[in-house]
Amino acid sequence: MSPEALVQPVSLQPTAQHQASTEAEQFDAHVMTTYARFPVVLERGEGCRVWDTEGREYLDFVAGIATCALGHAHPALIDAVSQQMRKLHHVSNLYYIPEQGQLAQWLVEHSCADRAFFCNSGAEANEAAIKLARKYAHIQRGISEPVIITALASFHGRTLATITATGQPKYQKNFDPLMPGFHYVPYNDLAALEAAVEALEGRVCAILLEALQGEGGVRPGDRAYFQRIRELCNEKGILLILDEVQVGMGRSGKLWGYENLGIEPDIFTSAKALGGGVPIGAMLCKEFCNVFGPGDHASTFGGNPLACAAGLCVAQTLVSDGLIENAAERGAQLQAGLNELVSRFPNLLDHARGWGLIQGLVLKEDNGLTAPALVKTALEQGLLLVPAGPKVVRFVPPLIVTAEEIDRALTIVAEALTAIV
């Protein structure tokens, strides 16, 4: 999962073309500075493009950080949300919500899960998975002090539990004391993980991993690594939890990231693209670990009619419009184009990696070019990108992106690299 902020804050100097607007000044005077924002005020969007208040057009390859799967102002999503708003937008989970049941049914029928719990974000979905794993450990395995293994360079959210699960100290700094019960290992390192399981002597209740590390540098999971973890979890009675917040809902070129790995998790989480920009998250699990009962967990807004109408629209449109296949095809085109740029700029670029429409352009370590600097230059030329660490630029356009838009983005990146050189 990625945070709702840039990994490396970027301070941009205003130019004649990008003067601070009244809206930005008003914003800065009243909103907490938890983001290092670009000096751009966006006011509308359509498809894969957005416009700022000065009328400048941008090709959006951020998509709300892998969230706007259907792009901006998609007619189906507009209709679904508008119709639901006219009908019933929120009621308590004290009552049956038909739209929630319909979305849960779709997710279960299109995944390995049997049950769904709805919340508002990826962090909350991961929080729910952590709680479920801990309860399962206590009542099914008799573990009094359960431990969850997570990966270094991971990202699982901003709550106290999920920043503890996140294997990056920069997100944890000054938020001590962190929550106990987590242990970190290097990603894609099987020997380290097996050693940790052995050393923790029966206390491991779950292994929580991203199928592809998004914020950690767009690092795809190794298929053999995950298949051995699945075997190990089966052998030891450990729950396998996959964080699908960023790669799920078609972004990888398959509906779920775990399909790229040839395994099934026991629990997995979804958010971001699930609502196409309308806030919603989900924690899904298999029946055997469905140990929550009334009062164990809850969410006031989770799974309300409005959010679920949006989620169901996104889910159905992914299938009806062939967007998962489009993600695979356009992702292959994007990766090929990025690799061509690597060949053209060997002193600046190292390689490209990713699945489908989550691609990372990895910069050379031994030069002064940083991902935030390249993102800044691309923005000035009309392309929105997002860093995934100091040396990786992330490309996560809407799943409706066209071949022509991929080509245009690649041209802008080439122009930006030329300008930097």
At 5 the pLDDT is: 43
Catalytic residue, chosen from 155, 182, 226, 268, is: 155
Q: Hey, do 22-68+322-420 and 75-320 end up sharing a CATH topology, with the first three levels equal?
A: no
Mean pLDDT of 106-133: 98
User: pLDDT-derived band of residue 4, with 50, 70 and 90 as boundaries?
Assistant: very low
Mean pLDDT of 356-375: 96
Q: Smallest Cα–Cα separation from 210: which of 266, 257, 171, 279?
A: 257
Architecture of domain 22-68+322-420: Alpha-Beta Complex (3.90)
Q: Is 176 a catalytic residue?
A: no
Catalytic residue, chosen from 254, 272, 376, 391, is: 272
Q: Is 321 a catalytic residue?
A: no
At 253 the pLDDT is: 98
DSSP secondary structure of 100-159 = HHHHHHHHHHTSS-SEEEEESSHHHHHHHHHHHHHHHHHHHH--SS-EEEEEBT----SS
User: Using one digit for the tens of pLDDT, what is the confidence trace for 390-400?
Assistant: 999 999 999 99
At 21 the pLDDT is: 61
- Which helix (DSSP H) or strand (DSSP E) does residue 75 occupy? helix 75-87
Q: Smallest Cα–Cα separation from 338: which of 407, 262, 264, 265?
A: 407
Q: Is 155 a catalytic residue?
A: yes
**Domain spans, the chain:** 22-68+322-420, 75-320
Catalytic residue, chosen from 118, 226, 243, 266, is: 243
The C-alpha atoms of residue 402 and residue 408 are separated, in whole angstroms, by 10
At 9 the pLDDT is: 39
Residue 367 has pLDDT above 70, yes or no: yes
pTM, whole model, 2 decimals?
Answer: 0.94
229-260 CB burial, b ≥16 within 10 A, e <16: bbebbeeeebbbbbbbbbbbbbbbbbbbbbbb
Architecture of domain 75-320: 3-Layer(aba) Sandwich (3.40)
The C-alpha atoms of residue 351 and residue 346 are separated, in whole angstroms, by 9
